[in-house]
Amino acid sequence: MSTKLKSRKDNKGRVLRPGESQRKDKRYIYQYTDPNGIRRVIYAVDLLDLREKEKKIVRDQLDGLDTYVSGKATLNTVFDRYMATKYDLKPQTRVSYKYMYDHFVRDNFGKRYIGDIKYSDVKLYYYHLINEKGFKPVTIDNIHTLLHPTFRMAVRDGIIRVNPSEGVMAEIKRSNSWDRGTRHALTREQQKAFMEYTANSPLYNHWLPLFTVLFGTGCRIGEVIGLRWDDLDYEKRQISINHAVIYRIMENGKAEFHVSTPKTKAGKRTVPMMDAVYQAFRDEYEAQKERGFNIEVCDGMSGFIFANRNGGLHNPSTINRAIRRIYESHNAEEIVKAKKEKRAPILIPHFSCHHMRHTFCTRLCEVEENIKVAQDIMGHADIGTTLNIYAEANDEAKLQAVNSMQKKFDIF
């Protein structure tokens, strides 16, 4: 026996269509999803007025579809359509993609008709950003990550025959214009100098527990900022990494903290807690018993371990500024001290939070021959990332071995 669905009606007995509803104040609303996947709402005092607005929305959407199908759409139109199909994107990732596109593509290259864009156009555009705008390789990579799948979707939809961005990045990376730069780890001597200076400085020693955890776990800065006391298992000496806290510019133009879950299975992991890290957590807990614990609530999460002076979450930029002040202060004092002692100064190069992760991985690769173990601890989705760091660590170890042999055997 079939059941007939009950129709929704307004206060005058008129049947309401899908998406339509009437509020308690008698006003009518219509809810729909725009081409970008964003929920929209329109209002009207009268039902007939509301339906006129609905018709206009439908006409506008059909006009956009006609433009797309005819091949006269701009790159901006196609990108917006591509983003509308990405239902599985996390909100933070969606905002990041939109921010990147709006700032670097939309007002210039994005205005071109997609059917007119050729391989050489994409290549010239990337070279323009590198050579004339001074963009870093990582920025070009990020832009390409957005444009390439946008063109690919247009190919699959039959709007264009070939993807004009296909092979562009491979060619540019082989050219002299591409210099990604290598992120080097601190040497053991530099790492020790930085930590000792921080520990002995009344001005900076409150940073010591955080730096110990960064250097001693290899976790990403967002993972460390997002650590909660509940993520620690003191008995097993393990740290559970199952989320991160990120600081991003949102659609309203404001920067906010948000909780993000790992993008890959490799990102969710447990990290062993070495003695120094264990003690750092203990020291931080005791210190916060005096000055107060983190009071921030972020996306329903609370109980975060590390806190700024106001009891909130740390901004990664603030941490990087503190790192810079510390190594600059150390270097200034070290130069004077080394001159008095008639020795070469131990100078600490520029580095950031991510160099701490790279440094940990390097130290790990120096003592751990099983690359898979290192990959699991680091949370690298691609073992190639771990292998590259292992190769760098192995090169340094070989150089140290040869120098040691040279000092031990006087044979030349």
Q: From CA 344, how far away is CA 339, in angstroms rounded?
A: 8
Instruction: Report yes or no: 239 and 231 within 8 Å, Cβ to Cβ.
Output: yes
Q: Which of 332, 297, 301 is nearest to 311 (CA)?
A: 297
Q: From CA 357, how far away is CA 166, in angstroms rounded?
A: 33
What are the residue ranges in the chain where pLDDT is below 70?
A: 1-7, 34-38, 60-71, 92, 176-183, 250-253, 382-412
**Residues 73-82 pLDDT 10s:** 899 999 998 9
pLDDT of residue 409: 53
**DSSP single-letter state for residue 249:** E
Instruction: Report yes or no: 112 and 165 within 8 Å, Cβ to Cβ.
Output: no
In the chain the domains, ranked by start, together with CATH numbers, are: 30-69 (no CATH), 75-173 (1.10.150.130), 188-404 (1.10.443.10)
pLDDT of residue 410: 53
Q: Which of 164, 159, 187, 6 is nearest to 78 (CA)?
A: 159
Q: Which residues of 13-40 are buried (b: 16+ CB within 10 A; e: fewer)?
A: eeebeeebebeeeeebebeeeebeeeee
pLDDT of residue 363: 85
pLDDT of residue 176: 63
DSSP 55-93: HHHHHHHHHHHHHHHTT--BHHHHHHHHHHH-TT--HHH
pLDDT of residue 4: 45
Instruction: Report yes or no: 169 and 139 within 8 Å, Cβ to Cβ.
Output: no
Contacts of 294 by beta carbon, 8 Å cutoff, 6+ apart: 288, 302, 303, 304, 305, 306, 307, 311, 312, 313
Q: Which of 326, 346, 184 is nearest to 318 (CA)?
A: 326
pLDDT of residue 138: 74
Q: Which of 185, 182, 107 is nearest to 138 (CA)?
A: 182
**DSSP single-letter state for residue 176:** T
